[in-house]
Amino acid sequence: MSRDMWDPEVYGRYADERARPFFELLARVRATAPSYVVDLGCGTGELTATLSERWPDATVHGLDSSAAMIAKARQVPRAPGAGPLIFEERDLRAWRSSRPVDVLVSNAALHWVPEHRSLLPGWVAGLSPGGWIAFQVPGNFDAPSHVLIRELCRTTWRDELGDLVADSPVAEPEEYLGLLADLGCVVDAWETTYIHVLPGDDAVLKWITGTALRPMLGRLAPDRRREFLADCARLLAQAYPREPYGTPFPFRRIFVVGQKGG
């Protein structure tokens, strides 16, 4: 894409649902007194700021490739007593720490970097002895929300969007466990399927507009974007019917926490 299509307001529409996996991931990180904590793909920064509250003696460094996200993150209110908090616009593929990292976190970001598995050795090497790496990625690429959109791009929209169709960019928990274990980490890997109940019309479409549809919407002119979204809405309404209490939306996530040997 030629321009930054991340919209912090759209992405933050379901902030509570997106925050829950972050806190469940961090609950398994038992670092007691880290001095340097890094959040790769920090987004709008609200969750990153909680790290500086949990570890007030640490410098917390949030990185994201989106200028819009970083601009939003730099406006995040600071809690009294929180430690130093730095936000930087940076492509995490090119990032290398200049100092040992005690806790390296990435929440729902690594699936945007298909080669992230090849980056894990460098990230683990940059951890301090006994340091922690923790990440979670969506594991729902075989769900209707993604399968239907891929098929739409391969067929009706193939001339404009066909090249954006790709296989799942993430591994299964067992593969991540093996990768980190081979790098000398003690690993805890698991998966959870959340059943989100989303309010309003076209709820699933609104969810994926801020994530999975971002590359497609970035490609299309405004009039074609409206046509594409209308096609998506028809398919998703059939796959995820709205109930009187809202729209149930199953969402599988993969969690990995590793501690480097001391």
Average pLDDT rounded to a whole number, residues 39-67: 95
Q: For residue 227, is it within any domain?
A: no
HSE-CB at 121 with a 13 A cutoff on CA atoms is 3
Instruction: Note the pLDDT tens digit of each residue in 66-97.
Output: 999 999 999 999 889 999 999 999 999 999 99
Whether 87 is covered by a domain: the verdict is: yes
In what side-by-side order are the strands of the sheet with 85-89? 85-89, 59-64, 36-40, 101-107, 127-138, 247-260, 185-198
Question: What pLDDT does 36 receive?
Answer: 98
Q: Is the pLDDT of residue 55 over 60?
A: yes
- Report the pLDDT value the prediction gives residue 6, as an integer from 0 to 100: 47
Provide the H-helix boundaries in the chain: 8-11, 15-26, 46-54, 67-73, 116-125, 144-154, 158-161, 173-182, 203-209, 214-219, 222-239
Burial class (CB in 10 A: 0-12, 13-18, 19+), 140: buried
Q: How far, in Å, are 22, 183, 222, 245 from residue 18 at the CA level?
A: 7, 29, 28, 20
- Determine the Cα angle at 145 with ends 189 and 178, to 5°: 20
Asked, for residue 75, whether it belongs to a domain, the answer is yes
Measured distance CA(136)–CA(115) in Å, rounded:
15
Amino acid letter at 35? S
What would the two tokens of residue 148 be? Answer: 């239907």
Mean predicted lDDT score pLDDT of the chain: 92
Reference 239, options 162, 133, 149; nearest CA is: 149
For 138-168, the pLDDT digits (tens) are 999 999 999 999 999 999 999 999 998 888 8
pLDDT one-digit tens code per residue, 114-125 = 999 999 999 999
Number of domains in the chain: 1
- Given pLDDT bands bounded at 50, 70 and 90, which one contains residue 1? very low
The domain that holds 60 is classified in CATH as 3.40.50.150
Is 84 contained in some domain? yes
The domain of 131 spans: 8-140+167-197+250-260
| Alpha-carbon separation of residue 152 from 93, 157, 196 (angstroms) | 30, 6, 24
Inside any domain, residue 32: yes
Within a domain: 94: yes
pLDDT of 3 reads 44
243 found inside a domain: no
Question: What's CA 33's distance to the chain center, in Å?
Answer: 26
Q: Quote the CA–CA distance of 46 and 80 in Å, as a whole number.
A: 15
Q: Per the domain annotation, does 154 fall within a domain?
A: no
Determine the pLDDT at residue 2.
Answer: 35
202, 236 contact by CB (below 8 A)? yes
- pTM for the predicted model, two decimal places: 0.91
